[in-house]
């Protein structure tokens, strides 16, 4: 075995070992790669100029000037603000009161709210913990089987991995797009471009199907085993809701989600601009919700800001607002004036929303949390970029390609082995680490084997979601265990997750055998 191959394998094994020991991800990836690069330079088996190219890679289009990644901090900010404004509490309360009279009603509410929180926050840990603290005590009080209750919450919390807009999908889009470009260069074929919008569109149908499967499992229990999920019997929980409560608590977050996804899928705005709309909308919704709590006089301003945002989006997409046009029509001039006025109102509303968040002491914690998460993502990305650079310098990408090509069963055997490895790594590593470290290594040879990059990315996202839920190491189960009351045992949590794992494996099999579930909508939008 050549020395380069030995060093490449040792570097990969050292990085995985250090991560499993709990060392910092960014420092581990970058530090291990740098150490082995210096060893390789000393032994004369690693090209030194390749290491010197790292600063240009960081400052170039792959990281710091990557417009796709700009959407990450904006979506993170959107999720954190919605989380801290207690939108989840409102959603669960309203959904429970709407569906509570049905057997399994609270279960339906948890799944639907989990899907909405997945689309609005995309933060698995926060979603699981929030719903555990709010919904699980109520479900247990109403006589729900602890296994069904805990499994429903854990599974619903992982929907943030697959339902767009998802941080996982944004990072996967960047990794798979680079892999597709690398594969096309290797084969001399046509360059493939995979956008965030492609993955959002590709994940939409599988994500909704998964929600449907979860609801179907609860409905099965409601019909066949009603004692496991009885109807709510407490009068105050079944009191009639007012239209205002439903509009503010349920309709407003739903409208924000539709606005963000609609802007991306409809081609109205790229992901970065849509993420900015999402972050601004989250500030307005948080300010509106919290202003009602604090009896603030800023509520009318924030309401006017929401209306002005909708107005700007409509005018922007129906009129020609270009300045300096020689033959500007009266309608275009009126549209420009209306847009300017609406924009001023919108910025005033944003300021009011931030002021409300500051008054309730949620602004700085939200900004600190968003900054922490974003910094972690980009530091890991820089470390992973160095790791990938050194691994390729040792010829590691050729090793991975040769291994996958040599797998029994041809390209499907290679895909199966990749999914198994990612599934197992998902027990121990966060999705960010897997996306930045593993995907760049395995995706190019799999794409060269003829797999559609969008379909491949959706399968990977579903696979990672399943590993998050699988005992004994699933992250979602750890989050739930940490927030669940003591009367719910760890074994009950594990057993409750098993039926939902089976449903997720069923969906993976369906997407694998019917690629159109992931590729039809992106191809339709592309036309």
The average pLDDT across 451-458 equals: 90
Burial of 239 (0-12, 13-18, 19+ CB in 10 A): exposed
- Is residue 174 within 8 Å of 192, Cβ to Cβ? no
Range of weakest confidence among 7-21, 199-213, 296-310, 320-334: 320-334
pLDDT at 216 (0 to 100): 93
User: pLDDT-derived band of residue 527, with 50, 70 and 90 as boundaries?
Assistant: low
pLDDT at 503 over 90: yes
CB 88 within 8 A of CB 67: no
Question: Terminus-to-terminus CA distance in the chain, angstroms?
Answer: 50
Phi, psi of 276 (to 5 degrees): -65, -40
Average pLDDT of the chain to the nearest whole number: 79
435 CB-contact burial (10 Å; exposed 0-12 / middle 13-18 / buried 19+): buried
CA 185 to chain centre: 29
- Band of residue 123 on the pLDDT scale cut at 50, 70, 90: low
Q: Which of 503, 495, 377 is nearest to 432 (CA)?
A: 377
Three-state DSSP class for residue 150: helix
Report the pLDDT value the prediction gives residue 239, as an integer from 0 to 100: 55
DSSP string, 281-324: HHHHHHHHHHHHHHT-TTHHHHHHHHHHHHHHHHHHHHS---TT
- Give 212's pLDDT tier (boundaries 50, 70, 90): very high
Q: Which of 118, 425, 271 is nearest to 439 (CA)?
A: 425
Q: How many CA atoms lie within 13 A of 128 on its CB side?
A: 27
pLDDT of 237 over the 50 cut: no
Tokens coding 97: 């009161």
Whether the CB-CB separation of 9 and 399 falls below 8 Å is answered with: yes
Average pLDDT over residues 110-116: 83
Interval 57-82: pLDDT, tens:
666 555 666 666 777 788 778 877 87
Which is more confident, 381 or 44? 44
Share of the chain above pLDDT 70, in %: 85
What are the tens digits of pLDDT across the range 480-498? 877 788 888 888 888 888 8
Question: Which residue bears the tokens 């968003």?
Answer: 370
pLDDT tier, 426 (very low <50, low <70, confident <90, very high otherwise)? confident
Mean pLDDT, rounded, for 436-440: 79
Q: Which of 55-64, 313-322, 417-426, 446-455 is modeled with the greatest confidence?
A: 446-455
Rounded CA-CA distance 456/200 in Å is 13
In this predicted structure, the answer to whether residue 238 has a pLDDT above a threshold of 60 is no
pLDDT-based confidence at residue 124 (cuts at 50, 70, 90): low
pTM of model > 0.85: no
User: How far apart (Å, rounded) are the C-alpha atoms in residues 32 and 421?
Assistant: 21
Cα–Cα distance measured from residue 288 to residue 424, given in angstroms and rounded to the nearest whole number: 43
């Amino acid at each position: 075995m050549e020395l380069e191959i030995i060093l490449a394998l040792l570097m990969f094994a050292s990085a995985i070992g250090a991560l499993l020991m709990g060392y910092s991800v960014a420092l581990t990836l970058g530090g291990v790669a740098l150490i082995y690069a210096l060893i390789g330079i000393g032994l004369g088996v690693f090209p030194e100029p390749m290491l010197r190219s790292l600063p240009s890679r960081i400052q170039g289009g792959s990281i710091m000037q990557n417009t796709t990644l700009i959407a990450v901090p904006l979506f993170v900010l959107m999720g954190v603000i919605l989380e801290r404004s207690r939108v989840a509490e409102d959603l669960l309360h309203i959904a429970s009161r709407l569906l509570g009279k049905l057997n399994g009603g609270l279960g339906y509410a948890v799944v639907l709210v989990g899907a909405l929180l997945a689309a609005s926050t995309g933060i698995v840990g926060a979603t699981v913990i929030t719903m555990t603290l709010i919904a699980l005590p109520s479900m247990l009080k109403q006589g729900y089987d602890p296994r069904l209750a805990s499994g429903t919450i854990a599974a619903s919390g992982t929907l943030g991995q697959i339902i767009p807009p998802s941080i996982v999908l944004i990072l996967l889009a960047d990794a798979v797009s680079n892999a597709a470009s690398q594969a096309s260069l290797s084969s001399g074929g046509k360059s493939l471009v995979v956008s965030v919008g492609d993955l959002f569109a590709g994940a939409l149908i599988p994500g909704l199907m998964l929600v449907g499967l979860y609801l179907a499992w609860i409905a099965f229990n409601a019909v066949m085993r009603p004692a496991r999920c009885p109807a709510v019997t407490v009068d105050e929980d079944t009191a009639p809701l007012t239209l205002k409560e439903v509009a503010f608590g349920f309709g407003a977050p739903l409208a924000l989600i539709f606005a963000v996804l609609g802007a991306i899928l409809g081609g109205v705005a790229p992901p970065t601009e849509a993420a900015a709309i999402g972050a601004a909308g989250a500030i307005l919704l948080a300010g509106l919700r919290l202003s009602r709590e604090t009896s603030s006089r800023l509520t009318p301003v924030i309401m006017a800001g929401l209306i002005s945002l909708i107005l700007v989006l409509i005018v922007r997409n129906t009129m020609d607002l270009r300045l300096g046009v020689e033959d500007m029509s009266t309608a275009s001039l009126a549209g420009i004036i209306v847009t300017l006025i609406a924009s001023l109102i919108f910025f005033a509303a944003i300021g009011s929303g931030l002021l409300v968040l500051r008054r309730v002491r949620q602004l700085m914690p939200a900004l600190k949390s968003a900054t922490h998460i974003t910094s972690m993502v980009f530091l890991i990305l820089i470390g992973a970029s160095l790791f990938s650079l050194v691994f390729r310098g040792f010829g590691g990408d050729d090793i991975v390609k040769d291994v996958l090509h040599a797998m029994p069963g041809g390209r499907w055997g290679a895909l199966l082995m990749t999914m198994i490895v990612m599934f197992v790594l998902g027990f121990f590593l966060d999705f960010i680490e897997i996306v930045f470290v593993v995907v760049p290594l395995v995706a190019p040879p799999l794409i060269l084997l003829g797999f559609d990059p969008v379909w491949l990315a959706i399968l990977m996202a579903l696979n990672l979601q399943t590993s998050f839920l699988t005992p004994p190491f699933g992250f979602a189960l750890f989050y739930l265990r940490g927030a669940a009351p003591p009367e719910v045992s760890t074994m009950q949590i594990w057993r409750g997750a098993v039926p939902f794992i089976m449903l997720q494996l069923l969906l993976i099999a369906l997407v694998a055998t019917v690629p159109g579930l992931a590729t039809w909508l992106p191809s339709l939008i592309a036309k």
